[in-house]
Amino acid sequence: MKKETSRTKRKRVPRRPARRASFSTPALMKAIKKTLKRTVPLSIPIKVVLLTGAVYISTLVITNVVLSLLGISLSSIFLGVQVRVIIWGVHIFLIAAVATISTNLFLDRPLDALNRVMSRAEKGDFLIRVPESGDDELGVLTKNFNHMLAHITNLTATKIQAEQDLLFAQRELRLKGQLAEQSKTIKENNKMLEALVKDLQLLYEIGQNVNSTIDLDELYCEITKIFQDRLKLDKFAIMVKEEAGEFMQVKAAYGFEETDHILDMTFRIGEGVTGEAASLGETVYVKDTTREDRFLHYKGERVIEGSFLSTPLIYKKDILGVINFHRPKVDSFSDEEIRLLTLVASQIALAVENAKLYTKARELSVKDDLTGLYNRRHFQTVLQVEWKRAIRFHRSLSLLMIDVDFFKKYNDTFGHLHGDKVLKELSNVLRRNIREIDTVARFGGEEFIILLPDTDKRGAIAVGEKLRKIVETHRFAEPASGGAAPQITVSVGIAAYPDDVREMDDLIDHADIALYDAKDAGRNRVVCYPQLTLPTSLDAVRSMKRPNMVS
């Protein structure tokens, strides 16, 4: 038996067929790309060459293995073409395909992505980024481009932030400017309001002071005091229009060297600056009196230099007068002062009008509408005062009762209108020819009564005779109908205390009895009541009946 050698003794193991590896192109590309990324960065051409070479070598190896396993020779003919040529064609096609695919993978796609991003970035979209594909030229370019976009984004954000900060700063400055202007305006308004409140308070106080005074003389004194104490004016004059309306008279003045002389002055409406202010009803301001021809310097009596302000007193469009203000400096009245003094003048005008109305109402209550003399009621009041004074101080008191002779016939002949004119004229004659302390009143119809304080019977007779003669010689107005009117004469009856009466009521009654005695004696004469010797005679006189006499 043959000795088995080691080779024969070795147990044979059946050979397994070799496992064929899967060489799909996408997987191969992916693997190669991943391998390339892990290696040293390569440029795109090298990547394409390496990838194409790797594919070519792999294909060549696979072809040789397949041909050896199949036992096919390269010189064999297949379909009329050598196998070698077919394999070369396949290799060429495969190499071109791999080169094309790798070029598209490594170059075209990244360039297209980069181009799209650059287009969007050109339109202002700096937040977009290019996908980074590797460390090759395009990868580096992509990274740099992304870094550039990031830098531009940062710059844009910084610019936007700076612009916003600038806008905020400008807005803040603008708001601060507006706030400063508003604050300045508010301060100015506050000052104006404070000045206005102060002026209103001053006007209120002035109005309270002047409107509480209803007597004209007291009112002028109060106005003078207010101008001195509250308004600090050192020179002024108050002029009030007279009843006729053609002239203004100075009613109050302060600061002049000769105030009494100024008080006697009158100005015609339209004369000088004062007359112009009254004529126009507007405030006239003369900054420098030496350069103003209209300024009369109070008719040249007293030269006044400086500034001059003339403000009219206006009440319901009626001009009552003018207030003149003076200051020694040129242009020393500000606009605020002119406005305030104009308002003060309005308050004074109201007070003057109220005082005039009060004076007129008081006069109407005590005076006769036709003649302007005191009426019978006021005469009774004065008689009570003078009677008490005569009793207390043991003074004489006389009373004259005056009646116009034949006045009823005069009225019937020439009319009542002309008779009223005669009564007015007679009233003026009586008023002008008695003392200031005497009181004359219209007692009724054509009867007048005169009270003579501190006058005995002899003095009363003298006064009565004087008045009778004045009336007898006075030339009264001619009747409108023409023709000569008879001369007006009066009869006068006199009674006196203590000669004729012991009681106040008897004074008028006894003068009335004496008046009828004068008419019985022929009129145009003065008759006294007979002096009493016994108290009982007074009662007898009171019981006497008045005869029916014709005036």
In this predicted model, what pLDDT tens digit does every residue of 158-167 receive, in sequence order? 888 888 888 8
Least confident span in 15-19, 109-113, 340-344, 417-421? 15-19
Residue 432 pLDDT level (bands cut at 50, 70, 90): very high
**pLDDT score recorded for residue 41:** 66
Least confident span in 31-40, 257-266, 468-477? 31-40
Is the pLDDT confidence value at 140 over 70?
A: yes
Would you list the domain boundaries of the chain?
22-189, 213-361, 367-542
Fold designation for 213-361: Beta-Lactamase (3.30.450)
Compute the mean pLDDT over every residue in the chain, rounded to the nearest whole number.
81
pLDDT tens by residue, 47-59: 778 888 888 888 8
Please give the Cα distance from 510 to 496 (Å, whole number).
9
Domains 213-361 and 367-542 share a fold: no
Task: Give one DSSP letter per residue of 59-107, joined into a string.
Answer: HHHHHHHHHHHHT--TT-EETTEEHHHHHHHHHHHHHHHHHHHHHIIII
Bigger pLDDT: 95 or 428?
428
Please give the Cα distance from 135 to 283 (Å, whole number).
97
pLDDT tens by residue, 365-382: 788 889 989 999 999 999
Task: Spell out the residues 6+ positions from residue 238 whose beta carbon is closer than 8 angstroms to its own.
Answer: 220, 223, 224, 250, 251, 252, 253, 321, 323, 324, 348
Closest CA to 476 of 525, 420, 401: 420
Count Cβ atoms below 10 Å from residue 355 Cβ, excluding itself: 20
pLDDT tens by residue, 502-550: 999 899 999 999 999 999 999 999 999 985 433 433 344 344 434 333 3
Half-sphere exposure of 76 (CA within 13 A, CB side): 11
CB 439 within 8 A of CB 374: yes
Task: Select from 3.20.20.210, 3.40.1160.10, 2.60.40.3950, 3.30.70.270 the CATH code of 367-542.
Answer: 3.30.70.270
Please give the Cα distance from 85 to 78 (Å, whole number).
10
Residue 303 pLDDT level (bands cut at 50, 70, 90): low
Residues above pLDDT 90, as percent of the chain: 23
